[in-house]
Amino acid sequence: MSSDSPNPTLLESSASLLGTAASWMRLPALASTGVAAVLTSLLYFKQKALIYPSHMPPNARTDVPKPSQFGIQDFEELFIPTSDGEKLSAFYIRGPRHSRNSKVTVLMFHGNAGNIGHRVPIARMLLSLAGCNVFMLEYRGYGLSTGEPGESGICHDAQTALDYLRDRAETSDHKLIVYGQSLGGAVSIKLVAENQKHVVGLVLENTFLSMRKLIPSVLPPARYLSLLCHQVWPSDSTIPHITKVPILFMSGLQDEIVPPNHMRRLYELSQAPNKIFKPLPNGDHNSSVLEDGYFESIAEFIASVTQEYPSTPPEKL
Annotated catalytic sites, by residue? 182, 255, 285
Q: Exposed, middle or buried: residue 45 (CB in 10 Å: 0-12, 13-18, 19+)?
A: exposed
Residue 35 has φ and ψ, to the nearest 5°, of -110, 90
Q: Exposed, middle or buried: residue 105 (CB in 10 Å: 0-12, 13-18, 19+)?
A: buried
Contact 276, 250 (CB under 8 A): no
As beta bridge partners, residue 169 has none
> Distance between CA atoms of 191 and 26, rounded to whole angstroms?
28
Neighbours of 264 (CB within 10 A): 15
> Distance between CA atoms of 105 and 149, rounded to whole angstroms?
25
Residue 148 has φ and ψ, to the nearest 5°, of -125, 140
